[in-house]
Amino acid sequence: MVVRNIKIEPAVKHESRDIAIGVTVMSVIMVIFFAVIGKFDYTVLLGTLLGGGFAILEFFLMALAVQKSVQRDTPEEAKLVIQNSHTRRLLLLAVVVIVGIKLPYFNWVAVVLPLFFPKLIIYAKTLPIFRRKEEE
């Protein structure tokens, strides 16, 4: 395995930080909801850590793949980088979901639900109420 020093672009750091904060906040809200409805136990906490942690990691890996793709010389090379990254991330996602559903240590809802949080956060960032002044 070849390990290269990758300089992470500021945009990747910024967006990954926003996703990490958003996933963490939404995960805390989800855990509180489980507690309110009387369904909280250690499996919810472990499921939230697995699902939320993977959601953050998956977004970061996607952002790195996009960064790497734009540094390629041809559109074909860039496309290949994105396709390979997508395939690997999809396989990892399948492993996380299967582990989260099959093992009794995880509440499967608490594993699966956070996987949708980055999409909700990205959508919310496009709404006018969440835009910064300098973006308008």
Summarised one tens digit per residue, pLDDT across range 34-93 is 999 999 999 999 999 999 999 999 999 999 999 999 999 999 999 999 999 999 999 999
Q: Rounded distance, CA 88 to CA 81, Å?
A: 11
- Are 105 and 43 in contact, with CB atoms under 8 Å apart? yes
The domain ranges of the chain are: 11-123
pLDDT band at 127 (very low <50, low <70, confident <90, very high): confident
Specify whether the backbone of 106 is left (phi greater than 0), alpha (psi in -120 to 50) or beta.
Answer: beta
Q: What is residue 62's predicted lDDT score, i.e. its pLDDT?
A: 96
Q: Rounded distance, CA 80 to CA 116, Å?
A: 25
| pLDDT of 14 above 50 | yes
pTM of the full structure: 0.88
